[in-house]
Amino acid sequence: ERSVKVSLLKEPVVRRLCEVLDQSSNKGWRKLGEIVGNDRRFKVSPDDMEMCSLKVLQPEGSPSRTLLKLMGERGCTTGHLMDYLQTVGNAEALQCLKPP
Amino acid sequence: VPQLTEDEMAEIKKDVLTRLRHYLCDKIRAERHLDFLRSRRILTRDDAEEISCRTTQTKRTAMMLDMLAENPRGLDALTDSIREMRSQNFIITKITDEVQKAKNEKIETLKAAASS
């Protein structure tokens, strides 16, 4: 459902999506953040990106989770997120959002 | 996905400091970070003096990295010190990407061990 807010995604979906985005090196969270950064609606700043990246220093820390939370707070919907993941070219991440 | 322990995380950070040694020796000037690292109690006065005694820029940074590698909070403190200066944030990107890579490799190893 494209109109569902990212902030309302179910925890197992978010967890799976974060695992995929944290573990894809060239089409992971950083690429997603750069693309969202170019979108005027949800503007992700270099400071935001740095804040996300620092999470990796904690054992359970996930840059992807922090980025998705930030996008959710700014009103991003699942539809927007799917478009971004399409641009990133991460089919596995996109699959996490498709209904089973 | 297996969860990493504090000890595994400390190993990963030590490994990242080794992997990025050449890069960091080139980009970082040790003397700019000594005061901050001392204030965080990562380095002692003796450590700082020993670093300062080295004859070249690269040798000073290399020695500082050796000392940071021995401390589980060493990499975090160096990252904070770099952020404090606000002029070399690209190094933060390099460090955090390398930590992510090392974490992913570790997770793969743990997964393989669990399934065999």
A41-100 per-position pLDDT tens digit: 898 999 999 999 999 999 999 999 999 999 999 999 999 999 999 999 999 999 999 876
Q: What is the mean pLDDT of chain B?
A: 95
Q: Give the pLDDT band of residue B106 (cuts 50, 70, 90).
A: very high
pLDDT value at B116 more than 90: no
ipTM of predicted assembly, 2 dp: 0.92
Q: Please write the tens of the pLDDT for every residue from A2-47.
A: 899 999 999 999 999 999 999 998 999 999 999 999 998 898 999 9
Alpha helices per DSSP H over B1-88 = 6-19, 21-27, 34-39, 45-53, 57-69, 74-85
On chain B, the residues whose CB falls within 8 A of the CB of A46 are 89
How far is it, in rounded angstroms, from Cα A67 to Cα A45?
Answer: 11
pLDDT value at B86 more than 90: no
Residue B97's contacts (CB-CB under 8 Å, 6 or more residues apart) are: A30, A53
How far is it, in rounded angstroms, from Cα A6 to Cα A42?
Answer: 12
On chain A, the residues whose CB falls within 8 A of the CB of B97 are 30, 53
How far is it, in rounded angstroms, from Cα B92 to Cα A4?
Answer: 34
Q: What does the CA dihedral B53, B54, B56, B58 come to, rounded to 10 degrees?
A: -130
Nearest residue in B to A53, CA atom:
B96
pLDDT at B29: 96
pLDDT value at A1 more than 80: no
How far is it, in rounded angstroms, from Cα B59 to Cα B82?
Answer: 19
Looking at CA atoms only, how far is residue B32 from chain A in angstroms? Answer: 21
State the residue for tokens 């990493």.
B4
Which pTM does this prediction carry?
0.94
Q: Please write the tens of the pLDDT for every residue from B5-53.
A: 999 999 999 999 999 999 999 999 999 999 999 999 999 999 999 999 9
CB contact under 8 A, B3 and A19: no
On chain B, the residues whose CB falls within 8 A of the CB of A53 are 92-93, 96-97
Q: What percentage of chain B carries pLDDT values higher than 70?
A: 100
pLDDT at B16: 98
DSSP B37-48: HHHTTSS-HHHH
3-state secondary structure of A5: strand
pLDDT at B17: 97
Tokens of B116: 């065999």
